[in-house]
Amino acid sequence: MIGRLNHIAIAVPDLEAACDQYRNTLGANVGAPQDEPDHGVTVVFIELPNTKVELLYPLGEDSPIRGFLDKNPVGGIHHMCYEVNDILVARDRLKADGMRVLGTGEPKIGAHGKPVLFLHPKDFNGCLVELEQV
């Protein structure tokens, strides 16, 4: 059902410092920050030859990333995103297998402009999983 790894997301307490580290220390191609109000985050994508790293920073006081950073003040891996061909088919199959889809269960448009869903980390070995339709 899942396709390739689309990205690994890292919550960061200082977006500018994290971008500088990837750009200047690691020599990575760092994209521009983009606000995603529907998800309560500002994101920056770092392009790698085989995948992406997504830096997440809180956008607003109600951001889910704010709570994550309160528990992990230096930041850390937040989720992994896998591609799927049909997000509704994937959702229905996962729900039939007893997996929990977060939120309303309906896809939202993600940072790449494509439908996404998140799966409960307790169902996936403690890892929050994002599915993105390709």
Query: Model pTM?
Result: 0.94
Q: Is the pLDDT of residue 61 over 90?
A: no
Return d(Cα 59, Cα 40) in angstroms, integer.
5
64-87: pLDDT as tens digits: 999 999 999 999 999 999 999 999
Any bridge partners for residue 48, and if so which?
none
Query: H or E element: which one contains 79?
Result: strand 76-84
pLDDT value, residue 131: 98
5-22: pLDDT as tens digits: 999 999 999 999 999 999
**Residues marked as catalytic:** 130
Domains of the chain: 5-133 (3.10.180.10)
> How much is the average pLDDT of 89-100?
97
